[in-house]
């Protein structure tokens, strides 16, 4: 029997509403909030694949749109890191008041520009217990990285050399537990066979490793 909770949600932020998908397994250990990258959305097949593996390991997931469809028409908004961060923080505050998950710890999974927003938000919110970045532009959050105390895993494709260098620079600035994981033979989007599965496995193990005691419950 499927005892999970799955719901389409709308997140109120500054007079607008952002669409999202919340999936809560019956024995959820924590909730991972996804911050997608430029030109992507909650429907990203890559993030959905990672989310499914997390769900199979008893992590709840929230995938939501950081921008409205109208806002996303303007390319500059996809790199408006402060705006994306504000949306992520607001969504996190909303999530913390939601009965279905308010007892769970929260982590972030960010991709591309969404990773910068996740890192900036983690610097602002000490309750975030871990951050994982997939092909992320962590460098776009450089001034805030020293304030990130949540254990942070930066995952980069081995063939994505420019982003690898940007992540190496960001790694030096991060303030807490940190690691850079290079996936050999992977490009920026990890489209090669098996590479995204590797990303999902790395993310799952990172969140498991740093999940607070008491199964992630707030006491």
Q: What angle do CA 10, 14, 17 make, to 5 degrees?
A: 20
Q: Return the C-alpha torsion angle 140, 144, 147, 148, nearest 10.
A: -20
Split into its structural domains, the chain has a count of: 1
Residue 217 lies in a domain: no
Q: What string of DSSP letters covers 111-141?
A: ETHHHHHHHHHHHH-TTEEEEEEES--GGGG
**Domain of 138?**
5-211
Residue pLDDT tens, the chain, 219 long: 344 667 889 999 988 999 899 999 999 989 999 998 665 566 677 889 999 999 999 999 999 999 877 887 776 777 789 999 999 999 999 999 999 898 999 999 999 999 999 999 999 999 999 999 999 999 999 999 999 999 999 999 999 999 999 999 999 999 999 999 999 999 998 999 999 999 999 999 999 999 986 443 343
Distance CA 75, CA 13 (A): 21
Q: Is residue 147 part of a domain?
A: yes
Please measure the distance between the N-terminal and C-terminal CA atoms of the chain and give it in whole angstroms.
29
In a domain, 216, yes or no: no
Tokens of 199: 């990303």
d(CA 35, CA 65): 8
DSSP letter assigned to residue 150: S
């Amino acid at each position: 029997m499927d005892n999970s909770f799955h719901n389409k949600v709308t997140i109120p932020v500054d007079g607008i509403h952002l669409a999202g998908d919340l999936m809560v397994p019956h024995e959820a250990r924590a909730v991972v909030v996804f911050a997608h990258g430029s030109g992507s959305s909650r429907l990203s097949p890559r993030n959905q694949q990672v989310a499914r593996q997390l769900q199979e390991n008893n992590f709840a997931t929230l995938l939501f749109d950081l921008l409205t469809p109208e806002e996303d028409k303007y390319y500059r908004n996809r790199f408006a890191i402060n705006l994306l961060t504000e949306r992520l923080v607001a969504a996190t505050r909303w999530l913390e008041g939601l009965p279905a998950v308010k007892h769970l710890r929260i982590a972030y999974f960010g991709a591309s520009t969404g990773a910068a927003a996740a890192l900036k938000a983690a610097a602002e919110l000490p309750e975030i217990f871990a951050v994982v970045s997939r092909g992320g532009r962590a460098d776009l959050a450089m001034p805030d990285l020293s304030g990130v105390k949540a254990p942070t895993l930066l995952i980069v494709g081995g063939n994505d050399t420019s982003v690898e260098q940007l992540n190496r620079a960001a790694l030096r600035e991060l303030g807490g537990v940190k690691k850079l994981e290079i996936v050999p033979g992977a490009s920026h989007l990890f489209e090669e066979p098996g590479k995204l599965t590797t990303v999902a496995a790395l993310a799952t193990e990172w969140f498991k490793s740093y999940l607070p005691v008491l199964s992630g419950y707030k006491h």
